[in-house]
Amino acid sequence: MVEMMYREALRRALDEEMQRDPLVFLMGETIAERGGSYKVTEGLWQKYGSRRVIDTPIAEASFTGMAVGAALVGCRPVVEILFVDFAMLVMDQIVNQAAKIEFISGGQGKVPMVLRTQGGAGNGLAAQHSQSLEALFYHIPGLKLVMPATPADACGLLKSAIRDDDPVIFIEHKLLYMTRGPVPEEEFLIPLGKAEIKRPGRDATLITYSHMTLKCLEAAAFLEKEGIRVEVIDLRTLAPLDTETLLDSVRRTGRAVVVHEACKRGGVGGDIAAMLMEQAYDDLDGPVLRIAGRNTPIPYNLKIERACVPSVEEIVAGVLSIL
Amino acid sequence: MVEMMYREALRRALDEEMQRDPLVFLMGETIAERGGSYKVTEGLWQKYGSRRVIDTPIAEASFTGMAVGAALVGCRPVVEILFVDFAMLVMDQIVNQAAKIEFISGGQGKVPMVLRTQGGAGNGLAAQHSQSLEALFYHIPGLKLVMPATPADACGLLKSAIRDDDPVIFIEHKLLYMTRGPVPEEEFLIPLGKAEIKRPGRDATLITYSHMTLKCLEAAAFLEKEGIRVEVIDLRTLAPLDTETLLDSVRRTGRAVVVHEACKRGGVGGDIAAMLMEQAYDDLDGPVLRIAGRNTPIPYNLKIERACVPSVEEIVAGVLSIL
Amino acid sequence: MALTPPAGDPAPIAEPILLGIYRNIYATRRFELTCIELYRQGHIRGYLHPYLGEEAVAAGACAALRPDDYIVSTHRGHGHCISKGADLSLMMAEITGKATGYCRGRGGSMHISSKQVNNLGANGIVGGGIPIAAGAAMGIMVRQTDQVVVAFFSDGASNNGVFAESLNMAGIFRLPVIFMLENNHYAVSTPIECATGCCDLAGRGPAYGVPGICVDGNDAVAVYHETLRAAGRARRGEGPTLIEAKTFRHGGHHVNDPGLYMDPQALAEWKARDPLTLMKQVIADPSKTRIIETEVESELEAAVAFALRSPEPDVAEFIAGIPEH
Amino acid sequence: MALTPPAGDPAPIAEPILLGIYRNIYATRRFELTCIELYRQGHIRGYLHPYLGEEAVAAGACAALRPDDYIVSTHRGHGHCISKGADLSLMMAEITGKATGYCRGRGGSMHISSKQVNNLGANGIVGGGIPIAAGAAMGIMVRQTDQVVVAFFSDGASNNGVFAESLNMAGIFRLPVIFMLENNHYAVSTPIECATGCCDLAGRGPAYGVPGICVDGNDAVAVYHETLRAAGRARRGEGPTLIEAKTFRHGGHHVNDPGLYMDPQALAEWKARDPLTLMKQVIADPSKTRIIETEVESELEAAVAFALRSPEPDVAEFIAGIPEH
Ligand SMILES: Cc1ncc(C[n+]2csc(CCOP(=O)(O)OP(=O)(O)O)c2C)c(N)n1
Ligand SMILES: Cc1ncc(C[n+]2csc(CCOP(=O)(O)OP(=O)(O)O)c2C)c(N)n1
Ligand SMILES: [Mg+2]
Ligand SMILES: [Mg+2]
């Protein structure tokens, strides 16, 4: 194991895959010489040149559409959309094109592209740079959706995403780039579609992903001191959803809380809660609780921004409320 | 009461509101002289002229952005996006602009616009002209979301949507335009945010909206013959959600099924089911069931297209399965 | 039928190419008329946008391409697919929604594609194919082959932002893509004069650093020569070209649109310059065109028979293929 | 400070207008430097994109507008807001996230707006404001007033599709909007030569049927005259104008970007033509500029004091305002 930052782990994944497969290439804004706003692609332009690390104009819709086209002719493009908020400019290319082409072509065409982007609140960037919009992709058949929380997951899942033959939406979190964690020294892959029990427990199951995994682990550590052992499951991949791991855990613990930063209304938490109810009703000792972002755009001021997303205290209180 | 078609009822709403308020105007593709693809705006250009019934080029992103701008300076634009699938081209304008401006301006700006569009499968129009994408709007704070099922609701709700000071996404269904129903002769409004019990019952609650309302009513009529009395609630407005009417019904019946045409994964059904569980767990005699579209793009061939969305038989079977 | 262009510069055009162009114009014309008939009989559902009157653009352009070159098509895409060499039977099966069609009955007319002939697909989103074409060209750049891509689209799409963006990016990356703007003067019922204040759409090329030229879209040979020239530039790494091919629909926007809004005089003038007739005049020898016509007719007859006797997709199999979560 | 232009044609420019322009350039310059300081001290969070070096564009353009005209701004928007006449205290309170700010601390620098002076708002989405501006102009058309709208945006945004679409639509509807393209030659670190193959961005106007002109963006008086002319056309129902104002940032893209990638020679040349100095030379009388400077300094001092002593938004109140479902 080596310690590295989340962003370094992402860079390593890109580097290894570009090394391995000459058909992998990167496209995005100021990702080349400048190495990207969050420094994920630093050094790759120097190593792979301008044919494979491509700076684009501010034309998200079309360069994402171009990734679809490049994927259709056999490449494996990885596009970077600076903020998931800006992914709203590429919804046609993702929802109507990337997600549909294999289907409408009856399997003739494949779109093995990855759209890397980044979301979440916490830096005072206000309403157009702080959203959590994964639910919009989660609902679209034909897309895979990955949201890693740790450097190791970031590396292993990004590699798998690049090798996957479906379009993969890969959403990072702005507060995670500088976090550190152990990553295997040898090359490794983490399969898409597998959740991970990040902390085992028996009293309740906390189901979460991305940055909220860290908060759930903190909450679990706190609760442990009170003698409450909660299991923390990091989904890692949201679509396809690892229902098996979730059902298995909930059947053991009898209680579940879904935690995410995105707004509660219409968030993926509702889908997961409903699925658990439908499939494990008799094993549950009470309703599945959702702890999620408030139903509001994110404000600029840090104090009120903080009030928009779940805190460790809220998670703790939520768990206590259902025991 | 007069009998009219859904599309006539929509036209009447537009006509009455344009008559009443010179700041209401319409924008869209071939809506003027040609009266729109689904004939909703027929005759309005002739009556109100090219300054208020405006044909645009195929530039959805920008004409929707223009509606935002026109709303900001005091107008009440109603834009038509031919298919909700094409709304994917205007997500930036809706999610990042229309839904955010009142908030980020601290209330200085208001965006009283309506985006009328149309969704759903059933006509062999395939994967890019048949989607049900309301969940994408449902998740975004700052938007209202209306999906009427009957001519009367279409008329009364569209009028309220136009008068509302928030951006309203108003989604019609392609299979409803030619359906008929009674509409009050006198001018009337239906408030946003109020569900309607379209058929009272005591054995289970069917929660639905848009075209599925018709199928649920059919299912309920069928079940009645078996002596099963299901209550059918038509949400009409999805956001804000009329939780009160839903909770009240479910507390009476003890059983709930949410039915929608959109894909189950990440659909609004999960949110509603989770909300009911969270708030009425003790009144429920079992899990809230979701009957929804399959997790697939819609194919062209009619036979397999039909297999993608819930049928009356499936709804009947679903209700029977939870009794 | 896929046609191989002569190597080198646009020398006097060889007869097999001319015959191939005629074949594709004729096949498209007859294919479209047959589809309209099948639509009226209920064998075709959904949207059907005939390419009638515009056949020379696809036939001329594709004649200048190699089989391994790509095209990207539109909602009005039968002509592109045929001219790139697709099989009429597999096309017809798709358009009638059969399991044997190119897309297994899932795509239909509006989404027809053929991997076999490198047609990356029609598109139900106006303008949707333009960045896909530029991206295929970028893929070619990454793979370092000398293929080219032709993006077909019409005047309506040219007012959409993705056209400007893609043109601009193709220019800076010198992508091997040809933007083939089929200016048929209408987007549904909206005449181009009402959709833009600019005169020649080809003029948008230079605004984004891309050469733009106009060509008579009813003259297949002219389209062929311009495409060949542009393809040469693209293969040599000299970047994209915007070609505005001026043409006209012979009828409404789709099968159910009588197109009454169309300017009758303009329609008559364009019909007088019917691309089929024009190309027949180029060939000059009626015995040669007759052979082609006979061949096409029997191909088409076989295609219809194949489509009509083919099975629809199996519902249970379809459902079984859908992932549960 | 909002400035009223002289009625009629661009006669020799009246002194109060010149002084007003100088005031706005100076105020913007000092405001930005103060913001950078406050950012370093931790009073400002998030993104801060200074308008340093570009002040003459907003000052010149807004001097040609009436108070009831609208502007639409960008992420680099302080200069637009100041030149349209906004209150420095309410601006500074917003940028420091206070409840007393224009947007109640919810918007911050990137979303500053002021209804009071008809600034429809800055935008965090590059290009996001362009259709909004065209739409405000359409609103004016519907309401039948003679107001105009100025859309500020930069070279990066001009490569986004919404620019092309909006330009085209403004042209066909003859909307009273002025597209003020602040070509500062960079989009973050990307020089404009790498982002497009075309030379003068103003040339995109004619490609969409809209007149396009270039102006020296560091010469506020020149910007004023061109804006006045365009506003006159717009008010007379003659439609939109694209004005490309060439200018240059005096530093990096945002407060934390040293801008090392910038061409040092070009930077030196542009700095030698500092819009503040140029405008000072126009006024010529140092006693007059000194009075303005003193006034601005005390306004600014008051603004900072107001901002710093203002309360932050109340959390409980904020939460109470959020709808439950
Ligand atoms: C983004 C989008 N907007 C609107 C439509 C509806 N529509 C289908 S075809 C068409 C007209 C297209 O005009 P043009 O690009 O000129 O193509 P043509 O039909 O002339 O071949 C329209 C508006 C669509 N399919 N996609
Ligand atoms: C749609 C979108 N893409 C990317 C960004 C990130 N971004 C912020 S400012 C900027 C550069 C904008 O360049 P330009 O339009 O020239 O404006 P300038 O900064 O020069 O004023 C970028 C890429 C964004 N905010 N919005
Ligand atoms: Mg056309
Ligand atoms: Mg710039």
pLDDT band at C3 (very low <50, low <70, confident <90, very high): very low
User: Which of C189, C196, C254 would best serve as a mutation to test chain B binding (most B beta carbons within 10 A)?
Assistant: C189
Is D197 in CB contact (< 8 Å) with chain A?
Answer: no
* Chain pair B-C, CB pairs under 8 angstroms: 112
Q: Say what the pLDDT of residue B154 is.
A: 98
Residue C239 lies in a domain: yes
Is C204 in CB contact (< 8 Å) with chain D?
Answer: yes
Relative to the CA of D49, which ligand 2 atom is closest? 19
Query: Cβ of A139 and B273 within 8 Å?
Result: no
Give pLDDT tens digits for C96-126.
999 999 999 999 999 999 999 999 999 999 9
Residue C295's SS3 state is: helix
Query: Cβ of D107 and B73 within 8 Å?
Result: no
Task: Say yes or no to pLDDT of C323 above 60.
Answer: yes
Distance CA D82, CA D70 (A): 13
Closest residue to atom 13 of ligand 2, CA basis: D187
> Encoding tokens for residue B111?
């965006």
Distance CA B145, CA B238 (A): 5
> Ligand 2 centre and the CA of D124: distance in Å?
8
B269 → chain A, closest CA residue: A271
Does the CB atom of residue D184 touch ligand 2 within 6 A? yes
Q: Is the ipTM of this complex over 0.90?
A: yes
Within 8 A of C203 by CB-CB distance, chain D residues are 206-207
> Ligand 2 centre and the CA of D41: distance in Å?
25
Q: Say what the pLDDT of residue C12 is.
A: 82
Buried b / exposed e over A33-55, threshold 16 CB at 10 Å, is ebbbbbbbbbebbeebeeebbbb
Within 8 A of B70 by CB-CB distance, chain D residues are 135-136, 138-139, 142
Question: What's the start-to-end Cα distance of chain B, in Å?
Answer: 37
Within 8 A of A294 by CB-CB distance, chain D residues are 319, 322
Relative to the CA of D160, which ligand 2 atom is closest? 1
Is D240 in CB contact (< 8 Å) with chain B?
Answer: no
- Give percent of chain B with pLDDT exceeding 90: 100
Q: Say what the pLDDT of residue D323 is.
A: 85
Q: Say what the pLDDT of residue C198 is.
A: 84
Query: Cβ of C46 and B295 within 8 Å?
Result: no
Residue C249 lies in a domain: yes
Closest residue to atom 17 of ligand 2, CA basis: D154
Domain containing residue D273: CATH number: 3.40.50.970
Query: Cβ of C197 and D171 within 8 Å?
Result: yes
> Encoding tokens for residue A268?
């993926």
β-strands B256-263, B204-208: how paired?
parallel
Task: Say yes or no to pLDDT of D5 above 90.
Answer: no
Task: Say yes or no to pLDDT of B169 above 70.
Answer: yes
Q: Say what the pLDDT of residue B266 is.
A: 98
One DSSP character per residue, A120-188 reads ---SS--TTSS---HHHHHTSTT-EEE---SHHHHHHHHHHHHH-SS-EEEEEETTTTT-EEEE-SS--
Q: How far is C255 from chain B (nearest CA, A)?
A: 14
Q: Which CATH class is domain A2-183?
A: alpha beta
Element (H, E) at B248: helix B243-253
> Ligand 2 centre and the CA of A58: distance in Å?
7
Is C106 in CB contact (< 8 Å) with chain B?
Answer: yes
Task: Say yes or no to pLDDT of A122 above 90.
Answer: yes
Q: Which CATH class is domain B196-322?
A: alpha beta
Within 8 A of D143 by CB-CB distance, chain B residues are 23, 73-75
> Ligand 4 centre and the CA of A54: distance in Å?
19
Q: Which of A30, A56, A82 to mutate to test the pocket of ligand 2 (most atoms within 8 A of CB)?
A: A82
Residue type, D268: A
Does the CB atom of residue B86 touch ligand 1 within 6 A? yes
Identify which of A161, A158, A119 has the alpha carbon closest to the alpha carbon of residue A143. A161
- Ranking B81-90, C1-10, D260-269 by mean pLDDT, the lowest is C1-10
Query: Cβ of B127 and A288 within 8 Å?
Result: no
Q: Say what the pLDDT of residue D6 is.
A: 43
Give pLDDT tens digits for D224-246.
999 999 999 999 999 999 999 99
Contact at 8 Å (CB) between D71 and D84? Answer: yes
**What backbone torsions phi and psi does residue C304 show, to the nearest 5 degrees?**
-65, -45
Is B202 in CB contact (< 8 Å) with chain C?
Answer: no
Is B296 in CB contact (< 8 Å) with chain C?
Answer: yes
**B186 is a catalytic site residue:** no
Give pLDDT tens digits for D45-60.
999 999 999 999 999 9
For the residues A15-24, what does the mean pLDDT come to? 98
Q: Percentage helix, strand, coil, to 5, in chain B?
A: 40, 20, 40
Is C206 in CB contact (< 8 Å) with chain D?
Answer: yes
Q: How far is A31 from chain B (nearest CA, A)?
A: 23
Average per-residue pLDDT for chain A: 98
Give pLDDT tens digits for B30-58.
999 999 999 999 999 999 999 999 999 99
**B139 is a catalytic site residue:** no
One DSSP character per residue, C158-181 reads HTSHHHHHHHHHHHHHT-SEEEEE
Residue D6 lies in a domain: no
Is A144 in CB contact (< 8 Å) with chain C?
Answer: no
Average per-residue pLDDT for chain C: 95
Does the CB atom of residue B89 touch ligand 1 within 6 A? yes
Number of domains in chain D: 1
β-strands A114-119, A76-80: how paired?
parallel
Relative to the CA of A128, which ligand 2 atom is closest? 25
Give me the torsion for CA of D217, D218, D220, D222, rounded to 10°.
Answer: -60
Give pLDDT tens digits for C253-284.
999 999 999 999 999 999 999 999 999 999 99
Residue C7 lies in a domain: no
Residue D323 lies in a domain: no
Q: HSE of C287 in the Cβ direction (CA atoms, 13 Å)?
A: 0
Tell me which chains share at least 3 CB pairs under 8 Å with chain C: A, B, D
To the nearest 10 degrees (0 to 180), the angle between helices D275-283 and D286-309 is: 130
Does the CB atom of residue C186 touch ligand 1 within 6 A? yes
Nearby residues of B147 by Cβ (< 8 Å), 6 or more positions away: B134, B170, B171, B172, B173, B209, B210, B235, B236, B237, B238
Is D190 in CB contact (< 8 Å) with chain A?
Answer: yes
Of C108, C187, C323, the CB nearest to B126: C108
Q: Give the residues across from A117 on adjacent strands.
A: A171
Query: Cβ of C124 and A97 within 8 Å?
Result: no
Element (H, E) at D288: helix D286-309
- Catalytic residue among B29, B60, B80, B102, which? B60
Is A49 in CB contact (< 8 Å) with chain C?
Answer: no
Ligand nearest to the CA of C156: 1
* Chain pair A-C, CB pairs under 8 angstroms: 147
Q: Say what the pLDDT of residue C11 is.
A: 63
Give pLDDT tens digits for C123-156.
999 999 999 999 999 999 999 999 999 999 999 9
Of A57, A96, A103, the CB nearest to C128: A96
For the residues D108-136, what does the mean pLDDT come to? 98
Enumerate the domain spans of chain A.
Answer: 2-183, 196-322
Predicted structure pTM score: 0.97
Q: Could you check whether B2-183 and B196-322 share the same CATH topology?
A: yes
Contact at 8 Å (CB) between B102 and D103? Answer: no
Closest residue to atom 5 of ligand 2, CA basis: D126
Query: Cβ of A141 and B297 within 8 Å?
Result: yes
Buried b / exposed e over D51-65, threshold 16 CB at 10 Å, is bbbbbbbbbbbbbbb
User: Which of D162, D193, D208 would best serve as a mutation to test chain C binding (most C beta carbons within 10 A)?
Assistant: D208
Where does C205-269 show beta strands of DSSP type E? 212-216, 241-246
Residue D8 lies in a domain: no
Where does C135-240 show beta strands of DSSP type E? 149-154, 177-183, 186-187, 190-191, 212-216
Give chain A's count of helices (H) and strands (E). Answer: 12, 14
Q: Say what the pLDDT of residue D198 is.
A: 84
Q: Which domain holds residue C36?
A: 15-310
Distance CA A204, CA A213 (A): 15
Is B57 in CB contact (< 8 Å) with chain D?
Answer: yes
Q: Say what the pLDDT of residue D11 is.
A: 63
Which strands form B204-208's sheet, in the order they lie side by side? B196-199, B230-234, B204-208, B256-263, B289-293
Query: Cβ of A275 and C325 within 8 Å?
Result: yes
Q: Which residue has the tokens 């019922």?
A: C189
Q: How far is B86 from chain C (nearest CA, A)?
A: 7
> Encoding tokens for residue B169?
């996404």
Task: Say yes or no to pLDDT of C1 above 90.
Answer: no
Tell me which chains share at least 3 CB pairs under 8 Å with chain A: B, C, D
Distances (CA, A) of C239 to C137, C138, C163: 10, 11, 16
Task: Say yes or no to pLDDT of C223 above 60.
Answer: yes
Distance CA A29, CA A37 (A): 8
